[in-house]
Amino acid sequence: MSTMAVTQAEADPRRFLRALASQEALLAIAVIFLAVAVGLYNPRFLATRNLSDVLLGNAYIAVAAVGMSMVIVSGNIDISVGSLIGVLATLSGTLAVNGVPIIVAWLAPLVAGILVMALQGIIIAYLRIPAIVVTLGMLSILKGGLISVTGGKWITDLPDGFHLADTELFGTVPMPVFLMIVATILAAIWMRYSAPGRAIYAVGGNAEAARLCGISQPRTVVMVFALHGLFAGIAALLYATQLRVIQSTVPPNLELTIITAAVVGGVSILGGVGTVIGSTLAAILIAEIASALVFIDVSPYWIRAVQGVLILVTVIADILRRRRMAGA
């Protein structure tokens, strides 16, 4: 019985090719290719102003997709996140206009996000109710509750210091983009190199094997949802502070865009596989496509259909890949 030397695997040239074929690399190539292609057709697309607007306006989706990726990798799903972001943004704005210190108005959505999501995680993990049902219920509660409480009134006259999204770091990097990058990198490192991060993949990949290895599935799921709540809170903060008004309603189909970003980013809908680098790149790609449609004179309403095609193509590719693996 021969054994290959495994310590020299790093030198394997196929490793480079395989890395290039990863979902993350494909997405990065797609982001650049699309920018060049649309730029050739309409150079205005490449104007700094447009590209930074695309990033600024969608950073919150990428941040929320980081949490969503963790949830899906753990073998769950959350469709309440769009509604939660709407509620948390309204909460933050309401606190701000009522004279609460700005820092409290900024931190409140983070704390509330963690609490709401942790509660859902507890119901899912300990009462063993499917995540889709629990989060569907929460979606209705949040959506219905928000419109009933606020009556759909817009929040205006937000205090000056509130607009976090306006601030720039080192005079160049806008805060939302900075937060998106930091959240993605920290989450990526944590998921790849920490023991609890590894537990998420184990629970999502094979819950029974994880349990026999002494990894607590319920604890892992609650942890994942709490973290997802934190990222939803940051996303809500970015969303609330990017405009002069807060609409007090739930952004339509937001959860679908977030789930699409995670799935197109390479997170397997069956759990156990995926990275947040992929989901952030996918969020950027989707935003880029939406903007590109305008520049190539296609109705921006097509973005939903494009998202649909992206999600189907990725999921089908994922399933086929898994079948091939199962057959091997």
Site for other proteins, rule CB under 8 A: 1-4, 6-7, 9, 12, 15, 193-196, 198-199, 201-202, 205-206, 208-216, 268, 272-273, 325-326, 328
Nearer to other proteins, 309 or 316 (CB): 316
Minimum Å distance from CB 133 to other proteins? 20
Nearer to other proteins, 163 or 198 (CB): 198
Nearer to other proteins, 9 or 133 (CB): 9
Minimum Å distance from CB 324 to other proteins? 9
Cα-based torsion angle of the residue sequence 79, 83, 86, 91 in order, rounded to the nearest 10 degrees: -110
Nearer to other proteins, 309 or 317 (CB): 317
Tell me how far apart the alpha carbons of residues 95 and 105 are, in angstroms, rounded to a whole number: 5
How far from 237 is each of 109, 110, 145, 234, CA to CA, in Å?
7, 8, 19, 5
Nearer to other proteins, 196 or 251 (CB): 196
Minimum Å distance from CB 189 to other proteins? 9
Minimum Å distance from CB 8 to other proteins? 9
Minimum Å distance from CB 287 to other proteins? 29
Nearer to other proteins, 12 or 53 (CB): 12
β-strand pairing of 168-169 with 173-174: antiparallel
- Report which of 45, 81, 63, 21 is spatially closest to residue 255, judged by C-alpha positions: 81
Tell me how far apart the alpha carbons of residues 134 and 257 are, in angstroms, rounded to a whole number: 20
Minimum Å distance from CB 226 to other proteins? 16
Kindly state the helix (H) or strand (E) to which residue 169 belongs, with its residue range: strand 168-169
Nearer to other proteins, 49 or 324 (CB): 324
Tell me how far apart the alpha carbons of residues 94 and 76 are, in angstroms, rounded to a whole number: 32
Minimum Å distance from CB 240 to other proteins? 32
Nearer to other proteins, 195 or 305 (CB): 195
Question: Which residue type, as a one-letter code, is found at position 129?
Answer: I
Minimum Å distance from CB 75 to other proteins? 11
Q: Which residues touch 304 (CB under 8 Å, ≥6 apart)?
A: 253
Q: Which residues touch 152 (CB under 8 Å, ≥6 apart)?
A: 248, 249
Q: By the 8 A CB rule, do 315 and 267 touch?
A: no
Q: Which residues pair with 168 in a beta bridge?
A: 174
Backbone angles phi, psi at 168, to 5 degrees: -130, 145
Question: Which residue type, as a one-letter code, is found at position 201?
Answer: Y
